[in-house]
Amino acid sequence: MTSPAHAGSARAEILARIRAARPQAPPLPVPRDYHAAGTYAGDGLVDLLADRLGDYGANVLRCSPADAPAAIAAALAEAGARRVAIPDGLPEPWAAAAAVPLAESQVSGRAGRAALETADAVVTTVTAAIAQTGTLILDHGPGQGPRELTLIPDLHLAVVAPAGIVAAVPDAIARITPGASLTWVSGPSATSDIELNRVEGVHGPRTLIVVILDDVPLPWERHDDEGTAGPPSLPAGRGGHVPWRSPGRAGIVVCTTPGRLDAGLRLRRGPPRHRRNPLDRSWPERQ
């Protein structure tokens, strides 16, 4: 049997021979001229983030911080979500918007898995939101809970503060705690089979709602003589989404794709979850 000391000397000898056999060359310089930060700035970041989230099929609501509880409550009510998972550290007014709040202590770990599977939705904060890609990043700290909290419920409502919106991926990486467990969310959970038939909700939330806390006056706000708002006479964004103020809900602006969210806070939701064979041709076609 080879002793550890002999094994170590053999390894050193092998590596020495490899180094001797390789031609000696100076180390090559590593180019560092790639983008280290985003190129977008100012109020346009919020518009860009809303546009890219709309591309992914997410529902986007924009409101002031003071209107956040009302926006959260309205979105959850419209989605029919009563039992809502609430992570530790979520602001109390937001947690109170849930009809039946399920505290993190009730739904975490093996003991809480059964309770978590009965949750209709989860409400969280985010660590960063990347405007250029429409991506939300969670590091599962306070206000975000463990990873399973945002993967098992069918609906994920994420609240984004203006300070958390960054231009590009490098900007977001700079904010991440090294070694943290991360979840990157780009729209509702979706996958495709070999024939590119899209299926939503197989490995995560089927519906994503993003509430952006935005104090900046919106250029498309338009009110008639009665004080109600209508859709703007502006061209659609890159993804075809049109932002407008929700009638009857002052302070809440809905960003959506025409036909997905066409009145008030009617949310766009994917088809029901299923566990059938993806090659089964009897499925109804996705509209």
Written as six digits, the tokens of 192 are 């495709």
Distance of CA 283 to the CA centre of its chain: 28
Is residue 280 very low, low, confident or very high in pLDDT (cuts 50, 70, 90)?
A: very low
Is residue 72 very low, low, confident or very high in pLDDT (cuts 50, 70, 90)?
A: very high
Who contacts 49 (Cβ-Cβ below 8 Å, separation ≥6)? 129, 130, 131, 134, 160, 165, 212
Determine the pLDDT at residue 271: 47
**Among 177, 210, 181, 170, residue whose Cα is nearest residue 55:** 210
* Average pLDDT of span 171-181: 87
DSSP 8-state class, residue 108? S
- On average, the pLDDT of the chain sits at 75
What percentage of the chain exceeds 90 in pLDDT? 31
Determine the pLDDT at residue 252: 52
Determine the pLDDT at residue 247: 39
Determine the pLDDT at residue 262: 34
Residue 56 or 264, more confident: 56
Is residue 208 very low, low, confident or very high in pLDDT (cuts 50, 70, 90)?
A: very high
Residue 172 or 241, more confident: 172
Going by their DSSP bridges, the two strands 121-125 and 128-130 should be labelled as unpaired
pLDDT at 183 over 80: yes
Is residue 166 very low, low, confident or very high in pLDDT (cuts 50, 70, 90)?
A: very high
In total, the chain counts a number of residues equal to 287
Rounded distance between C-alpha atoms, residue 274 and residue 200, angstroms: 9
Q: According to CATH, what is the number of the domain 63-222?
A: 3.40.50.10420
pLDDT at 209 over 90: yes
Who contacts 254 (Cβ-Cβ below 8 Å, separation ≥6)? 59, 60, 61, 62, 243, 244, 245, 246, 261, 264, 265
What percentage of the chain exceeds 70 in pLDDT? 70
Largest CA distance in the chain: 93
The residue with tokens 């809440």 is 252
The residue with tokens 């939330």 is 205
- 0.85 exceeded by pTM: no
**Among 30, 49, 12, 32, residue whose Cα is nearest residue 255:** 49
Determine the pLDDT at residue 263: 35
DSSP 8-state class, residue 225? T
Residue 236 or 212, more confident: 212
Task: Let me know if 159 is exposed, middle or buried by CB neighbors in 10 A (0-12, 13-18, 19+).
Answer: buried
C-alpha distance from residue 10 to each of 6, 20, 159, 228, 269 (Å): 6, 15, 58, 82, 63
Rounded distance between C-alpha atoms, residue 189 and residue 208, angstroms: 8
Residue 240 or 128, more confident: 128
Q: Find out whether 183 and 140 touch, Cβ atoms under 8 Å.
A: yes
Determine the pLDDT at residue 37: 78
Q: Find out whether 104 and 85 touch, Cβ atoms under 8 Å.
A: yes
Rounded distance between C-alpha atoms, residue 30 and residue 12, angstroms: 28
pLDDT digits (tens, 9 = 90+) for 221-268: 433 334 444 333 333 333 334 344 443 444 455 654 333 333 345 455
C-alpha distance from residue 234 to each of 131, 237, 243 (Å): 21, 9, 9
The residue with tokens 């180094």 is 19
Residue 190 or 116, more confident: 116
Determine the pLDDT at residue 260: 36
* Average pLDDT of span 201-230: 63
